[in-house]
Structure 1
Amino acid sequence: MGILRAIAFAIGSVVLAVAPVAAQERSALKQGFELPANSGKRILVFRPSVSVGAQSTGGMFEPNGDWTEKASRNLQVSLERLQSRLGNTVVLAPEAYGEDAQRLQEHMALFAAVSQAVIEYQFFVGNRLPTKKRDNKNDVFDWSLGAGVATLPGAQDADYALFLYNRDAYGSTGRKILQVLALLGPGIAVKSGEHAGYAGLVDLKTGDLLWLNADGAMGGDVREEDGSEKRVRQLLDDFPGSDIKPAK
C-alpha cells in the first residue's frame, strides 16, 4: 500500500511539474474580414466532430465509444445553449445521409488537418512554411478548405459555416506510470493525455478560412457537462461578433 501511495504522489507531482504554464490557444482572423454583431449574416453550424478515448502506455490512441457518445451529447447541448450568443443568425445544419454524410465527414477531416497545419506552420514562427513567412506585425492568414464547402448540406441557406473539431485522449494508468518513471529515471518528459480542439469560420462561397481558434492543450473534461461547457466556451472565445467569454 505504501508503494502505491508513493507512485500516486509521484504521478501527481509530475503532472504538476510538467503541466503547461499557459494554454497553447491561438486565434487568427483573415485580414480585412469583419463580422459585426447583427450584420444579417447567416452562420451554418455543423455538429462537432468528436473523438474521445485513452492514451495507452505506448502513446497510442484507443477510442472509447461510451466516452465519445457522452462527450458528443454534452458538447452539442453546450453548443446549442451558447449559439444564440454568436452575434448573428445561426442555422443548424440538416442531418446528412449517404453521399452528403460522406462529403461532410471528409470536410471535417480536412478542417482538422488544415487547423493542425495552421498551428504548426503559422502560429509558431520557427516552423512557418516559406509561403507563410511574414513579419510578425503583418501576418497573412491565408488558408482554405476549397470551394467544395458550397456543396455541403445547408450551405445554400447560409453565408458562413462554423466547424468544430474535438479530440481527447486521457492518459491511462500505464501512461501515467511511464511518465513518472521516464522523468525520475533518464529525466525524459513524457506527455500523459492529449486534448485538442479547433473552431473555424469558413466562407461558404470561396472555402476560405476566415477565423480560427485552435488549442492543443484544452481544458475541461468533455465527459462531464460542466467540462463540456468550458470546452465550448474556449473554442468560441474571440468568435467575431460574439459575446461569449471563456469559463472561469
Structure 2
Amino acid sequence: MSIRKPLVSLAISITLVAAPLTVQAADTPHWVHYKWLLSNPSLPKKVMVLPANIEVVEVTAGGVEEKVPEWSQEAGRNVFKALSAAIKKQQNMREATAPKFSGTTAGNVDEHLALYKLVVNTASRNGGDSWRHKIRRFDYSIGPGLRAVADQTGADAAIMVYGRDVVSTTGRKARAIVGNIPIVNIFTGPAPELGHSYIHVGMVDLRTGDLLWMNSNYRTDSTNLRDPEDAAKMVNAIFEWYPGIESYRNAYAK
C-alpha cells in the first residue's frame, strides 16, 4: 500500500483529532517490512530521529482533558534523548543529527509525519483473517517524498515517534480512591480511570518511504514521560524487539 501526496491534507486533518492507537501484530508486538524477511536483508546503518510528537494532557475529576504545552515539550525531549541512547546500543547503527528544517522542507517533513501517523492508524485497524496477508507481507509506505532529506543528511532511515501521556489531577485521583470504597461508591459512582502513557516508534526508509519497522508501548501504571527514567524504560521496551526479524518470520512467514 502506498499513500502519496494527494492524501497529505487528509492525513493532517485526521491525525489532529485521532487518539494514538496501540499498534500490534497478532502474535508479536512489532511489525517488520516484508523485504526484511528475505535472506540477508540490508538494515539501516545511519538513522535520523525526527522531532518527537508527544502530547501530555491533564484530566480533571469530571473527565475534561486539557493539553499542557510545557509538559508536552518536556516529555518530547525525554523521549528524544531516550531514542538517541537506544540507537547507540544497536550494533551497526549510528544516529545522524537532524538539521533545523525550515521553509518548504519543514512543511514537507511535517506533512509526512502526519501521513505516517495516518498510515499507522490504518494498519492498526486492519484485523481478522481477511487482513492477515498484510501482516505476512507488511508493505505499507508513505511514498518517496523525503528523499531530499536523505540526500541532505546521508541518513538511510528516519525514526518517527508520537505518543500521549494522560495525567490525572489531584481531584480525579481522590475520586478514584473514593470510588474504590465499597458502599461509598454507590453514591459517588465507579472509580474513574487514571493516567496512561503511550509511545509509538517507527523506522521509515527515507528514499522509498517504506515502513521498515514499528513498535509501540502502552502502560496504565504510574509511568510519567516527564520523568527521563520512565521515558527510557518505555523506549527500551520498544527496542527490545528491534529488529525482531526471526521472531516475526517465525510468527507469520510460514
The Cα shift of 1:64 comes to 0.8
Note if contact 1:214-1:235 (Cα within 8 Å) is conserved in structure 2: yes
Offset from partner CA, 1:64-90 (integer Å, 9 cap, x none): 122112212222332233321232232
For residues 192 and 155 of structure 1, do their structure 2 counterparts lie closer, same or farther at Cα, with a shift above 3 Å needed? Answer: farther
* Residue 98 of structure 2 corresponds to residue 93 of structure 1: yes
Q: Give 3-state SS (helix, strand or coil) of 1:148's partner.
A: coil
- The residue aligned with 1:226 is 229
The Cα shift of 1:218 comes to 6.8
Note if contact 1:150-1:156 (Cα within 8 Å) is conserved in structure 2: no
Q: Could you tell me how far apart the structure 1 residues matched to 2:203 and 2:220 are? A: 19
Q: Could you tell me how far apart the structure 1 residues matched to 2:87 and 2:62 are? A: 39
Offset from partner CA, 1:93-144 (integer Å, 9 cap, x none): 11112222222222222222322332332xxx34x7x5x3439xx7221211
The Cα shift of 1:178 comes to 6.9
The Cα shift of 1:236 comes to 2.3
- The residue aligned with 2:30 is 27
Name the aligned partner's letter for residue 72 of structure 2: T
State percent identity of aligned pairs: 27
* Residue 40 of structure 2 corresponds to residue 41 of structure 1: no
Q: TM-score, normalised by structure 2?
A: 0.67
Offset from partner CA, 1:204-237 (integer Å, 9 cap, x none): 1211111110234476311112112112212323
Note if contact 1:53-1:62 (Cα within 8 Å) is conserved in structure 2: yes
* Residue 168 of structure 2 corresponds to residue 163 of structure 1: no
The Cα shift of 1:197 comes to 1.2
* Residue 56 of structure 2 corresponds to residue 52 of structure 1: yes
Superposition pairs of residues 1-248 of structure 1, within 5 angstroms: 26-33=29-36, 41-57=45-61, 59-87=63-91, 88-121=93-126, 125-126=127-128, 132-134=131-133, 139-152=136-149, 157-176=154-173, 177=175, 181=179, 184=185, 191-217=193-219, 220-240=223-243
Report the RMSD for the aligned CA atoms in angstroms: 3.7
For residues 180 and 205 of structure 1, do their structure 2 counterparts lie closer, same or farther at Cα, with a shift above 3 Å needed? Answer: farther
- Range 103-112 or range 224-233, more displaced: 103-112
Offset from partner CA, 1:34-69 (integer Å, 9 cap, x none): 698996732222232222121344545411122112
Q: Could you tell me how far apart the structure 1 residues matched to 2:65 and 2:150 are? A: 31
The Cα shift of 1:156 comes to 5.5
Note if contact 1:196-1:216 (Cα within 8 Å) is conserved in structure 2: yes
Aligned pairs, how many? Answer: 212
Q: Could you tell me how far apart the structure 2 residues matched to 1:32 and 1:178 are? A: 48
For residues 211 and 39 of structure 1, do their structure 2 counterparts lie closer, same or farther at Cα, with a shift above 3 Å needed? Answer: closer
Q: Could you tell me how far apart the structure 2 residues matched to 1:164 and 1:189 are? A: 32
Q: Give 3-state SS (helix, strand or coil) of 2:104's partner.
A: helix
Unaligned segments of structure 2, at least 5 residues = 1-21, 246-254
The Cα shift of 1:24 comes to 7.9
Unaligned segments of structure 1, at least 5 residues = 1-22, 243-248
For residues 231 and 31 of structure 1, do their structure 2 counterparts lie closer, same or farther at Cα, with a shift above 3 Å needed? Answer: same
Name the aligned partner's letter for residue 234 of structure 1: A
Q: Could you tell me how far apart the structure 2 residues matched to 1:30 and 1:60 are? A: 39
Q: Could you tell me how far apart the structure 1 residues matched to 2:65 and 2:41 are? A: 40
Note if contact 1:51-1:63 (Cα within 8 Å) is conserved in structure 2: yes
For residues 116 and 185 of structure 1, do their structure 2 counterparts lie closer, same or farther at Cα, with a shift above 3 Å needed? Answer: farther
Name the aligned partner's letter for residue 236 of structure 1: F
